[in-house]
Structure 1
Amino acid sequence: MNHNTPLPQVPSASPRPVRHLSDVQRRVTTAAQLRSQGVAPAEANEQCRSGGPWQQLLPGVYLLHPGPPTSEERLHAVLMYAAREGAAPGVPVQPGSGEPHRPVYKEAMITGLAALNLHGLSCAPPLLSLEHIDVLVPRLRRLRSTGCAHVVRTTSLPTPERATGVPVAPVPRALADAVAQLTDAGMVRRLLSEAVRGGHCEPAAVVRELNDAKLLSRPHVVDAVDSLLAEGRALAEDRLYTMVVEHGLPDPVWNVDLRLPGGPHLGGLDAYWPEQAVAVELDTRAPRQDEDALWSEYARKREHFERLGITVVHITPKKLRDSIEQQAAVVRTALMAAGDRDPAAYVVVLPR
């Protein structure tokens, strides 16, 4: 029997046409789909006997050929097992188009190391080497981990992304679910670093997910996060420099501290144009347990600068990555508007 062998037909049944199914759905299917084809549970169990042409991969999920499942088949089997009842995969999204449709899985998505592999992180293990595949479902679902399916629960499902035809958790969430099961500090560090360096996500989003998962109390995770934040800031500083050079902004002084003459330290800035009293500060705050206190301090600093007549433009690493031209226009506008403002207070500019 090969991958294209048709479903066995019970003489009294009239199987529904399966032209709308994708190729993988003709190899991996559910008990409910088999029943809709006229295949009774007893017949399915008979096909799965030792030496038979089928296998039962997970409760209610069948592989319609002998031999080990492929990575794609394992992914879809896990999703079929975890998808909400009544939302059977394989329902055509656009009936009548005549083309195979991608499976539809409700309230289930791949997460953890498998998702990171599908997102293209090179340091994530190969799919076939994973003993189990993490699948994210709502917290109240009555579903247990079994076989190659490892159930991960959440109070709020993120919006899934699609990779190689299956729904996957966004990279920050997938990282948190992977890190929760890892004790190898080197692996944790490599995953976080590649996710940021490769442009898959911003450090703050990763730290937020790790914090929500209560993982920041683990020493090896904290060490990896500190390295991640340092690397993320370095990348953001490089992008800021690129923005100034490539978009023709006047040269600022870089990485400076401001003080009032004979007075207190006002704070550090990533770029400052003294003649126009315009500054850029990279917002690389990482949400942690004391986020409210950090934000209050951050807001006070900004208000203090503005009372002195210094315009502070706050830019996040994500904005620098996704809309660098727009951020350059914001800074240029602030520089051009300097002539219409009252002169700023005199401050001492020192290297940081």
Structure 2
Amino acid sequence: MTHNTPLSPRPLHDLTGGGRPRVTTTARLRSHGVSTAETNEQCRAGGPWQQLLPGVVLLHPGPPTSEERLHAVLMYAARERGTGVPAQPGGSRPHAPAYPEAMITGLAALTLHGFSSTPPLPSLDTIDVLVPRPRRLRSTGCARIVRTPVMPDPEHDTGVPVAPVARALADAVAELADAGTVRLLLTEAVRGGHCDPAAVVRELNQARLLSRPHVVDAVDSLLTEGRARAEDRLYRMVREYGLPDPVWNVDLRLPGGPYLGGLDAYWPDQAVAVELDTRAPRQDDDALWSEYARKREHLERLGITVVYITPRKLRDCPEQQATVLRTALMASADREPAAYVGVLPR
């Protein structure tokens, strides 16, 4: 073989064997001895290869699979343009391909997370890929660049790095103008157990999407549903862990005096109250927390113990929350009697 003998794709079996996606970068091809001229020749019209994105080559003539498109977008956006799906001993496929500073986000990520309300991958014209803000990249072909000042930790359950649900949801919503679609996505995120309402609202707020009326409407519906689910979990926790029955959803008022506030559960004999902390992290969060704190301080000055419980704690560790409540109820015997307050249904 002379130096003028053209290279063939055959030496590249380690890039395409073992069931790996048949897509790679021009830098990786060069590392296997394939010159830029040879790559261009192979990618000519009617040739055996195709250039999917700048610096990214599909090593077969037919249309790319969804998996190949995902890897192509990641290869295009990755910090190291030579990065591809690394070979493993024995030709096995890696669990977490290395794509520095790049991960799938938006609708494609939600589909990979198992959402049923998002389009299937083959029907998406573009795939969103999240990169750090300083990166000098442009959207092109099937790759849409989404920038962020702080990269979240990716999840690799699907075999490619994917943004967490709340972040992927915010990136998807940023491109959607239909109120029904936004509401559907937000609802599935919570009902499907993918993430808490607070996490969703936090990401939407950081993305400055809460100024859009159709997003605000969807968030209000989401928070209402999230509170209803948290109330159901609170009822179930009291029942399943044998706590005494409280009075539910009441307002407290001093006799002939001011309104003290509403509570989700109250044990009058022990002067112990529960309030679900379903605050969403919006722009006025500090003011809302100050209101919570003032209410708690006022009630505790009257001898009433207030226990705040978040929906996440009710979901993830109900036994621990039941123990906290039981301890507060038992400790009431050692406290000074609370002031008399009126208890009214809400």
| TM-score of the pair, normalised by structure 1 | 0.92
Return the alpha-carbon distance in structure 2 between the equivalents of residues 126 and 17 of structure 1.
Answer: 30
Is the 2:15–2:24 Cα contact (8 Å) retained in structure 1?
no
Q: SS of the counterpart of 2:273?
A: strand
Which of 86, 94, 98 is the matching residue for 1:101?
94
Which of 15, 20, 23 is the matching residue for 1:24?
20
Q: C-alpha displacement at 1:39, in angstroms?
A: 1.0
Return the alpha-carbon distance in structure 1 between the equivalents of residues 24 and 232 of structure 2.
Answer: 50
Is the 1:112–1:176 Cα contact (8 Å) retained in structure 2?
yes
Q: Which amino acid aligns with 1:221?
A: V
The match for 2:60 is: 65
The match for 1:279 is: 273
Is the 2:25–2:81 Cα contact (8 Å) retained in structure 1?
no
Q: SS of the counterpart of 1:350?
A: strand
Q: Which amino acid aligns with 2:39?
A: A
Structure 1 pair 328–42 and aligned structure 2 pair: CA distance change class (3 A): same
User: Unpaired segments of 5 or more residues in structure 1?
Assistant: 1-8
Q: C-alpha displacement at 1:49, in angstroms?
A: 1.1
Is the 1:21–1:100 Cα contact (8 Å) retained in structure 2?
no
Q: Which amino acid aligns with 2:77?
A: A
The match for 1:122 is: 116
Structure 1 pair 30–297 and aligned structure 2 pair: CA distance change class (3 A): same
Does 2:341 align with 1:341?
no
Return the alpha-carbon distance in structure 2 between the equivalents of residues 47 and 190 of structure 1.
Answer: 45
Return the alpha-carbon distance in structure 2 between the equivalents of residues 290 and 87 of structure 1.
Answer: 46
The match for 2:232 is: 238
The match for 1:36 is: 31
Return the alpha-carbon distance in structure 2 between the equivalents of residues 97 and 261 of structure 1.
Answer: 79
CA deviation profile, 1:117-141 (whole Å, cap 9, x unmatched):
1111110111111110000000000
Return the alpha-carbon distance in structure 1 between the equivalents of residues 226 and 10 of structure 2.
Answer: 60
Q: C-alpha displacement at 1:159, in angstroms?
A: 0.9
Q: C-alpha displacement at 1:99, in angstroms?
A: 3.8
The CA RMSD measured in Å over matched residues stands at 2.1
Return the alpha-carbon distance in structure 1 between the equivalents of residues 286 and 18 of structure 2.
Answer: 49
Q: C-alpha displacement at 1:114, in angstroms?
A: 0.6
Q: C-alpha displacement at 1:10, in angstroms?
A: 5.6
| TM-score of the pair, normalised by structure 2 | 0.93
Does 2:106 align with 1:74?
no
Does 2:105 align with 1:111?
yes
Return the alpha-carbon distance in structure 2 between the equivalents of residues 12 and 248 of structure 1.
Answer: 73
Return the alpha-carbon distance in structure 1 between the equivalents of residues 275 and 169 of structure 2.
Answer: 28
Is the 2:198–2:280 Cα contact (8 Å) retained in structure 1?
yes
Q: C-alpha displacement at 1:288, in angstroms?
A: 1.2
Which runs of structure 1 show a deviation greater than 4 angstroms over 4 or more consecutive aligned residues?
A: 9-17, 19-22, 95-98
Structure 1 pair 144–212 and aligned structure 2 pair: CA distance change class (3 A): same
Q: C-alpha displacement at 1:342, in angstroms?
A: 1.6
Q: C-alpha displacement at 1:245, in angstroms?
A: 1.1
- Within a 5 Å distance, the mapping from 1:3-14 to structure 2 comes to none
The match for 1:6 is: none
Is the 2:7–2:34 Cα contact (8 Å) retained in structure 1?
no
Is the 1:15–1:36 Cα contact (8 Å) retained in structure 2?
no
Return the alpha-carbon distance in structure 2 between the equivalents of residues 152 and 227 of structure 1.
Answer: 27
Q: C-alpha displacement at 1:238, in angstroms?
A: 0.7
Moved more, 136-145 or 165-174: 165-174
- Within a 5 Å distance, the mapping from 1:263-342 to structure 2 comes to 263-342=257-336
Is the 2:27–2:81 Cα contact (8 Å) retained in structure 1?
no
Does 2:72 align with 1:89?
no
- Within a 5 Å distance, the mapping from 1:134-283 to structure 2 comes to 134-283=128-277
